[in-house]
Amino acid sequence: MRAVAALVVVAIAACRPSPPAPPTIANRPGAHGQAPTAARGAITKAGVEALLARRFADELAAGTYVAEWNGTEDDVLSELAAMGWDDLAQLAAAIPIDYERRAAHQFTAGNPANIPGTVRDFMILADARRYFADAWQNHWATLAPGDIDVYRAYHIDLSPLRAASVIPDDAAP
């Protein structure tokens, strides 16, 4: 009788679903139910373009993201290096899984997101103090419309941006 009871307990335990694995970089769903974009290799112009084209494929197809550098590739690549990021995996890991949702206003057909804007957003979101202390190098002077809303959506400390005087007057506090 004990053997039968033990078998029943084992059978019931085996039928119970196992708890889901805790979220990790490897198994978190992306904003559109997709896995985060995986990437490996040295950070290069072509590598960044390919990573972002994969990650923002829907936005690229909709015309709300453009794979353009606007002449800033050398500046942006030097900023990534100054952040200590030399592998595309580091950039991929810095892209918030819900960026498309929280930064939806950045993806518009009339003023589409681009490579320098999105990459700089990821560096600032990852470590604003380090970005403005080590990487920024005065390569740009003011935030694009909507950037401050993205940073607020992620509750980052805005004091490094204020210290660098890149927050437009109409975007304060």
Q: pTM for this structure?
A: 0.77
Spatial neighbors of 51 by CB under 8 A, at least 6 apart, are 37, 39, 88, 91, 92
d(CA 136, CA 37): 25
How far does CA 45 lie from the centroid of its chain? Answer: 17
Residue 16 has pLDDT above 60, yes or no: no
Helix axes 73-82, 115-130, angle to 10 degrees: 30
Residue 54, pLDDT > 60, answer: yes
According to the model, what pLDDT value does residue 26 have?
36
Residue range 102-130, pLDDT digits in tens = 999 999 999 999 999 999 999 999 999 99
pLDDT at 165: 93
Question: For 72-101, what is each residue's pLDDT tens digit?
Answer: 999 999 999 999 999 999 999 999 999 999
Please give the radius of gyration of the chain, using alpha carbons only, rounded to the nearest integer: 21
Residue 172 backbone phi and psi in degrees, to 5: -70, 150
Q: Residues 6 or more apart from 162 whose CB is under 8 A from it?
A: none
Other Cβ atoms within 10 Å of 81 Cβ, number: 13
Please write the tens of the pLDDT for every residue from 123-164: 999 999 999 999 999 999 999 878 999 999 999 999 999 999
Task: For the chain, give the mean pLDDT.
Answer: 83
Residue 130: which of 160, 101, 93 has the closest Cα? 160
d(CA 166, CA 143): 6
Interior/surface letters 84-106, b for 16+ CB within 10 angstroms, e for the rest: ebeebbbbbbbbbbebbebbeeb
